[in-house]
Amino acid sequence: MNTSKKILIVEDDPNISKLVEYNLQKSGFKTTSVDSGEKAIAMLQKDKFHLAILDIMLPGMDGLEICKKIKNNKKLSDMKILILTAKGEEVDKVLGFELGVDDYVVKPFSPRELVLRVKAILRRNETVKDLILCDGIKIDVKNHDVFVDNKKTELTAMEFKLLVTLVENKGNVQTRDYLLEEVWSSSSDITTRTIDTHIKRLRQKIGKYGKKIETVRSLGYRYID
C-alpha cells in the first residue's frame, strides 16, 4: 500500500510479541522486537522507527518510562506510541495518555484490532516532509533544526511544533482549537492563552519573519503566504 513503516515492539512475553510481529508483517510493516526497555532505547538510537508498541508491564524499565524517555528526546518525540496494557490497569492508561501516547490496546486483544489501530495511527500524518523551506526559514524536521537566514535558531519543542504547523499550512488560518490539538497533545487541557504566549516567543525568535505570523482576530493565527 505504502512505503512500509518500521515498528518496534517492546514486549517480554515471546508469545505475544511473535503474534504481533506475525500480524503486522502480514500487513506489510517492518517489525523489530525487543524484550526490555533498555534494549528498546538502544535500538531506537540505532535505527529510526515510526511507531513503538510498548507493553506496560516489563521487567526493569517499564513501558511508561520508555514512553517518557521517547517523548523527552527531541529526535524521537515525533515517533508514535501505542501502549499494550492488561485489563484493570486503567490508571496506567490515563497516565499513558497524558504522556502523549497515540492509542492503547487492552490485553487480551484481537490481532486484527491491533493492526487496524496501528494503521490508524500511522495514517494520521503521512505527509511529513523532512525539510521545509519557507521564505528565509529552513526547517529540518528530522533533526529539529531551524535556520533563519541560514543562521541556526534554537527553538524549544513547543515552538518548533508550532512553527511547523503554521508553515505547513502557510496561508491558512489555524484556529486555536486546531493548534491545541495539533501542537499540544489533544488530551491536555490548556488555557488557550498559552498559545498566545508561545506565538509571541516564536515571533521573537524568528526575527523579521515574526511579522509573517499574522493574528486573525477571533479566529487564530496564520503564516502569511
Partner DNA sequence: TACAAATGTGACAAGTATGTGAAAAACAAG
Partner DNA sequence: CTTGTTTTTCACATACTTGTCACATTTGTA
Q: Does 151 bind a copy of itself (CB under 8 A)?
A: no
State the Cα–Cα distance between residues 162 and 179, nearest whole angstrom.
Answer: 8
Contact of 23 with 115, CB cutoff 8 Å = yes
Q: Does 116 bind DNA (CB under 7 A)?
A: no
DSSP string computed for 170-215: TTS-EEHHHHHHHTS-TT----THHHHHHHHHHHHHTGGGGGGEEE
State the Cα–Cα distance between residues 26 and 9, nearest whole angstrom.
Answer: 15
Task: Count residues near DNA (CB under 7 A).
Answer: 28
With respect to DNA, which residue has the nearer C-beta, 20 or 44?
44
Q: Which of 12, 173, 201, 205 binds a copy of itself (CB under 8 A)?
A: 173
- 51-110 residues near a copy of itself, rule: CB under 8 A: 87, 90-91, 93-94, 97, 106, 109-110
Distances (CA, A) of 165 to 36, 66, 109, 116, 180: 34, 26, 34, 27, 11
Dihedral through CA 92, CA 93, CA 98, CA 100, nearest 10?
A: 110
Say which amino acid occupies 73.
N
State the Cα–Cα distance between residues 109 and 39, nearest whole angstrom.
Answer: 25
With respect to DNA, which residue has the nearer C-beta, 36 or 77?
77
- 144-163 residues near DNA, rule: CB under 7 A: 154, 156-159
Considering CB distances under 5 to 8 angstroms, the limit depending on partner class, which of a copy of itself, DNA, none binds residue 113?
Answer: a copy of itself
Q: Does 61 bind DNA (CB under 7 A)?
A: no
Contact of 58 with 10, CB cutoff 8 Å = yes
Segment contacting a copy of itself by CB under 8 A, of 32-40, 63-71, 72-80, 118-126: 118-126
Least gap, CB of 75 to DNA (angstroms): 12
Q: Which of 72, 143, 172, 186 binds DNA (CB under 7 A)?
A: 72
Considering CB distances under 5 to 8 angstroms, the limit depending on partner class, which of a copy of itself, DNA, none binds residue 188?
Answer: DNA
Q: Which of 120, 128, 133, 190 binds a copy of itself (CB under 8 A)?
A: 120
